[in-house]
Structure formats: structure tokens, C-alpha cells
Structure 1
Amino acid sequence: MDEDKFQDDIRTYRERSWLQFRSKPYFHVYVLLAVSYLLILVFIIVGLSKVTSLSSELSEMNAEIPKRPSGLDDQLFPCGPDTRQWEYFNEKCYYFSLETAPWTRAKTRCEEKQSQLVIVNSMAEQNFLQSRTRNERYWMGLTDMDAEGVWRWLDGSDYTRGFQHWKAGEPNDDARNEDCAHLWGNGEWNDVYCTYLCYYICEKPLPGAATAHHRGA
């Protein structure tokens, strides 16, 4: 009987302890905290689900929106944002030097810039160039140093049938081996000896234009 009474006392003690615990204020606090954590967990799961869904929708929308062919830099600097000293005209880029040099040195300078001395193909291009030369003299990619009187463009363009804009009476050689051509102060062409110190104009295709042309050929 003593043992049964002992077991009853232990059970009674546990029940009283539990009731006392439940009656204490912090029991409700623990319950509220547990509920709060559960709600936070639910919100996190729902939020992650929403984020995943929105991300998927945004990806689909971006795929449907046509991309612009070029960025703002390409629009402001068609010749490339890293070559802002180059000027754009009619699918080509032009560099107007700030230094003078003999014709052969000017030719090398342009080649170092992955370009060539300018080839003038039309009156529109001529007008563009002479509007930028500011009454100075600039080398072109035109010479007859290989054979006197036989003028040729560096890129092999047909000189005889192509555009020409010589100053009156030029080219005249003047018995001084005037084998290189430059833009005169007013934009007209003149021949002069190739060691003359002159500014120069380099030209190259618009970036990507040469590749596009090659693919279309």
C-alpha cells in the first residue's frame, strides 16, 4: 500500500506542477512565441514562392521584349565609346590628326590605328572632309610615287573613273617629285612632295559594318 500511495503522490505532484506551470504568465508568452515563429516561417515560404514566380515571369517578359541593336554609348559614339576622337559620316569613321607628318609616316600612323589614309569617293564625302579641315592641309591616300602621272588610291579604288576634286592646274608635279596628294586649305586637292609636313585623315568602316558586308557577300 505504501508503494501505491507513493505512486499516487508522484502523479499528484506532476499534475500540480503542470497546472502551476500553465497558470504562470510566461506560459502564454511561450505559446505566442511559438505561434509567431510558425507564422513567420509560413510567410517566408509564401514570399519565396512569390519571388520565384515573379522572377520567372520577368524572365519571360525580358525574352519577349526586343533588344535594342546598340546601347546609349553606341548611339552617342557610333565609332565606339573608346574612340571618341573619331568622327562618324555615312557608315565610316574619320580621324583628323593633331600632328603633322610626312606622307609615308602619316600612312603608317593610320595603319597603327587599324585604318588607312582617307579615300574620297563622292562630293558628299568631300564636303564633309573640307568642313572639318579648317583651312589646313591634310594628307589623303592618293599617290603616283610608283609611276609618274599614274595616280592610285591606297585601297585600289578606280582613280580614273572615280570622283576627283583637283585644284585648277593640278596635279602638275612642278618638277619636284610631287607624288602625294593632300586636301588644300579650301578642300581642293593638290599634289606636293611626300616629305612635306602635313596633317592627315584616317578612315575606317563603322565597327561591325565590314563584318556585316562580308557575311552578305
Structure 2
Amino acid sequence: MSAAEPAEAFLGMFRTTDRLQEGENDKKLQGKCLRLVSPMSPAWLYGCYAVIIVLTVAVIALSVALSLSGEKPEQVSVKNTYAVCPRDWIGFGSKCFYFSEDTSNWTFSKEICMKQKAQLSQFDNMEELNFLRRYKGTFDYWIGLHRESPKHTWRWIDHTEYNSSVPIRGVEDYAYLSNNGISSARMYTDKRWICTNPNSYILECQIPFASF
């Protein structure tokens, strides 16, 4: 073997060692790069798991809150008043009205209404008057308006003064509903009558809101 061959062999071993060291260095560098670049480190995964858990809990809590808020309209109620009237009486607004089929004079008609814990009809506004006129049909009905004489003012059964919102026809002292509006007649004339039961049958009922 020549003197050059051991030198070449030594150089070859050195190159091989360099290559191994370079390979190991490359692997170390790759590992470092992967740890720096890769998002799949354990700490990152734990963070992701924590975020997912927090979001899941938040979604569940929100769903429960929405479901409870959706049920509230059915549970919350408001008070509404309306007339619950006896048989053969008609409710309108907060009152009950009775339209008789018999006839009598004004005084006896008043007494009949009082026996039913009511009074000869009184209207408080035009809406009620229009209802009475519409429902009475073609018959004449006594109402609770009267006066002592043509020189006195018209008053209701409870002695409150009539506001003259609708003129009363005629010169007599007892009022009734006619086809022409409100007219007057003598007390002993026989007519049908209307009783009003103001607020005696009013109930406060819990009416739930409709949910949509």
C-alpha cells in the first residue's frame, strides 16, 4: 500500500464523520424549526381544548337563557277587566245590560231593575248609546233619565246631571230610547225597559300573552 492511501482513507473517514455531524445538525435544526413552526405543540393543544370547552359552555348557557326567555311571555300575564254577565244579560265594555221583553211604566221598570241589583239604563258615552240603539231594534225602551218638571234639568237615576250630549225630544219628564234617538213620555206609559248593572259582575282575569 502506498503512503497516499492511508491519507486518503483518513480523509474519507473525516468526510464521513463530517457528513454524520452535518446530518445530525440538520435533524436538530429541523426539530427546532418544527417546534417553532408547528402549531401542534402540547401547550397549544391544551389552549385549544380550553377555548373549545369555554365556547361550548357559553353556547349551552346561551341556549338555556334563550329557552327560558322564550317561555316568559307565556308565564307573564296582564290584568284585563271585562264583564261576565248573568244569563239573558248582554255585556258591553265594563257593563251588563238587560233588554226586557215585557212592558211597564217608568216607575215599575225602575223597581224591577233595582230588584235585580241594577238600575234603569245609563250610558256614559256615545259608544254605549250607539250600542243600546243598535241592539234595541224597533222597540221603545225606558232608560234612567228623568226630571222633576220641564223647568228642571235632566238627571240619571243616581242623580248625576245629564250632559245633554244628545237632545231629548218632547216635553214630558221621563226618557226612553226611540227610533229617533231619545224621546220623552209620561211616567205611566207602558214600554219595555233596559237595566244596567254597572261593574257588579266585573272580574279581573289573568290573560296570558300570546307567544310567537
Q: TM-score, normalised by structure 2?
A: 0.53
1:120–1:163 CA contact under 8 A, matched in 2 = no
Counterpart in the other structure of 1:183: 177
**SS of structure 1 residue aligned to 2:84:** coil
Instruction: State the 1:158 CA deviation.
Output: 2.4
Q: Could you say which structure has the larger radius of gyration?
A: 2
Whether contact under 8 Å (2:84, 2:202) holds in the other structure is no
Matched, 1:123 2:122: no
**Match status 1:92 vs 2:86:** no
Aligned-residue offset at 1:204: 1.1
> Which ranges of structure 1 fall in alignment gaps of 5 or more residues?
1-64, 173-177, 212-217
| 4+ runs deviating over 3 angstroms | 65-70, 206-211
1:197 matches 2:190: yes
Distance 1:137 1:149, change over 3 A: farther
Which residues of structure 2 form unaligned runs of 5+?
A: 1-74, 205-212
In structure 2, distance between residues paired with 1:69 and 1:123: 26
Matching residue within 149, 152, 157 for 2:151: 149
Question: Do the aligned partners of residues 208 and 193 (structure 1) sit closer, same or farther apart at CA in structure 2, a change above 3 Å counting?
Answer: closer
Deviations for 1:121-149, whole angstroms, at most 9, x for unmatched residues? 211011100111101100010111x2333
- How many residues align structurally? 129
CA 158–115 in structure 1, closer or farther in 2 if over 3 Å, else same: same
Scaled by the length of structure 1, the TM-score of the pair is 0.52
Residue identity matched to 2:104: A
Change (3 A) 1:210 1:111: farther
Instruction: Say which SS state the counterpart of residue 112 (structure 2) adopts.
Output: helix
1:135 paired residue among 131, 134, 138 = 138
More strand by share: 2
Residue in 2 aligned with 1:113? 116
Write out aligned runs for 1:1-217 (5 A): 78-80=83-85, 83-144=86-147, 146-150=148-152, 151-159=154-162, 162-166=163-167, 170-172=169-171, 178-186=172-180, 188-207=181-200, 209=202
Q: CA deviation at 1:209?
A: 4.1
Cα contact 2:96–2:196 (8 A) shared by 1: yes
Deviation track 1:23-56 (CA, whole Å, cap 9, x = no partner) reads: xxxxxxxxxxxxxxxxxxxxxxxxxxxxxxxxxx
> How many angstroms does 1:208 deviate by?
5.1
